[in-house]
Structure 1
Amino acid sequence: MKSNYRVAYDKGWQDVKQKEPTDIARNMQVHYLPGKQQFIVPFLNENYIVDLARETMVRENDGETPEISAAILVLHYLSFFQTTAEVTGKWVSLKEIPNGGMLFYPAFHKEAICGLIKAFGQQTGTFLDCAAILGGQMAKFGDVSACFPVFPKTPLCVTLWEGDGEIPANATMLFDPSIEYFLHIESIIALGGYLAKRLIKLAPQASGC
């Protein structure tokens, strides 16, 4: 029996193939090579080659295959959109995103936000070092914050408040409200969780960033 990840991965390819490649390229701001039937998709400061004919996905700089959870996010980014919506430049919490943001927020906070607080709540400088590796740019929220062009049309912003002896550290993750038009709520949550996981994974090696 196929795993849930494998089912979602296979369906993701079929969903992408049902859309016109030029519509995907135009609406989601990715590059399409018609002669090769390939998309070039920027994802967290790296480009991925998505080959429609072979149903393969590799990182452009070294040919490595992304983990299946990341590959699913790429496929969902290419296939979910229904409109020509644009990024607003505003920021909202997951709780403010329609179709389940409020419902899923407690689990998201436990899995993603608490991990960020644990990893970076007492070392905000380390956070900025790690954020830079993933293409994060400093922003003016909280004590420190960084905004990431995770995909071309789905920026995310991570904000931290450093704790001390009296006040506990805190964190939040913000989304452009237009994300509801580009990803299903479950994919939005997965995207935020994936960003948090990548940042946390970088934390132990931050001194060498």
Structure 2
Amino acid sequence: MCNIINACGEAARQLAALEPEDVVMRSGAAYDEKRKTYRLKYFGAWYEIDCQGRVSLPGHGEEIPYNDRTLIMQYLCSASGLPPRNRWLSFLELPEGAHHHGPFHVDALNPLAAAFSSLPDQFLRAATTLDGEPLPMGDAAARFMAFPRLPLAAVLWVQDEEFPARANILFDAVSPTHLSTASLWVLGVELATKLRTCLNPAVTGAVNWLGKEQRKEG
């Protein structure tokens, strides 16, 4: 049978019930009392979120993608207020990361490596579009502030005569205090997709489980 998951709607309901002062303190967002609107930086761009869960990017007329809207509201609801710990974890090291480790390779790491397999300079240029800052890792790497208190890193090793290209996305050790591992999986896939889109604007994300039908046995 089918189980409908409405993560976006649930996050919007949770956000509406929270005190803005508490949300601001935990998340690093700003709040406009007059407009009843939050402002939150997400991968280098300032988004506005109203108390009904509507998410917009000022000056950007297109609808904000479902996964981005959901992640933004989930972060506002569940951010712990803790700062980055400046220690990187692989996805497998996240709580119950083994449950999503295979799909994370398929949906994030393998496509990212394939897109930039011999293009480290383009990888770094793509990173700058998301406010990424270079890191001394691999053949090319960058650190991204996905949210004000939640950094990610993307690392590329280019292909050579012996080995194919490979990529990794790393999470600051504080990440599990802000979002669930399932949401961090989606966040990592969104980072990979956004980087790949810089090379090919036609790229679309493979992850659409948020708010979609998931089949269960029985």
Same fold flag (TM > 0.5): yes
Q: How does 1:187-206 map to 2 (within 5 A)?
A: 187-204=183-200
In the alignment, the residues of structure 1 paired with residue 170 and residue 179 of structure 2 have an alpha-carbon distance, to the nearest angstrom, of 15
Q: Which residue of 2 aligns with 1:67?
A: 65
Paired residue for 1:91, among 83, 88, 93? 88
Structure 1 residues 95 and 87: CA distance shift in structure 2, 3 A: same
Tell me how far apart the structure 1 counterparts of residues 50 and 16 of structure 2 sit (CA, whole Å). 11
In 2, the alpha carbon distance for the partners of 1:157 and 1:68 equals 23
Is 1:8 aligned to residue 7 of structure 2?
yes
Change (3 A) 1:160 1:36: same
Q: 1:114 Cα deviation (Å)? A: 0.1
For the residue of structure 2 that corresponds to 1:9, the secondary structure is helix
What residue in structure 1 maps to residue 212 of structure 2? none
Deviation track 1:50-77 (CA, whole Å, cap 9, x = no partner) reads 011x432110233543111110010101
Report which of the two has the higher share of helix: 1
**Cα–Cα, structure 1 residues 107 and 62, in superposed 2: closer, same or farther, change >3 Å?**
closer
Q: 1:84 to 1:150 in 2, by over 3 A?
A: closer
Structure 1 equivalent of residue 114 of structure 2: 118
Task: Report the alpha carbon displacement of residue 85 of structure 1 after superposing the two structures with TM.
Answer: 2.3
- Give the letter aligned to residue 15 of structure 1: Q
Which runs of at least 4 in structure 1 moved beyond 3 Å after TM superposition? none
Give the aligned partner of residue 125 of structure 2.
129
Q: C-alpha distance in 2, partners of 1:185/1:21?
A: 25
Aligned runs of 1:1-209 on 2, under 5 Å? 4=4, 7-52=6-51, 54-81=52-79, 83-98=80-95, 100-204=96-200
Q: CA deviation at 1:171?
A: 1.0
In 2, Cα distance between the equivalents of 1:162 and 1:68?
32
- Structure 2 CA distance for partners of 1:69 and 1:163, relative to 1, 3 Å: same
Q: How many percent of aligned residue pairs carry the same amino acid?
A: 27
Aligned counterparts of 1:147 and 1:202: Cα–Cα separation in 2: 17
CA offsets, 1:77-125, max 9 Å, x none? 10123x4422101111011111x21221111011100001100121111
State the number of aligned residues. 200
The alignment's TM-score, normalised by the length of structure 1, stands at 0.90
Question: Is contact 2:28–2:81 with CA below 8 Å preserved after alignment?
Answer: no
Question: Distance in 2 between the 1:33 and 1:192 partners?
Answer: 29
Q: Counterparts of 1:65 and 1:36 in 2: how far apart (Å)? A: 20
Shift of 1:4: 4.5
- CA distance 1:69–1:128, change in 2 (3 Å): same
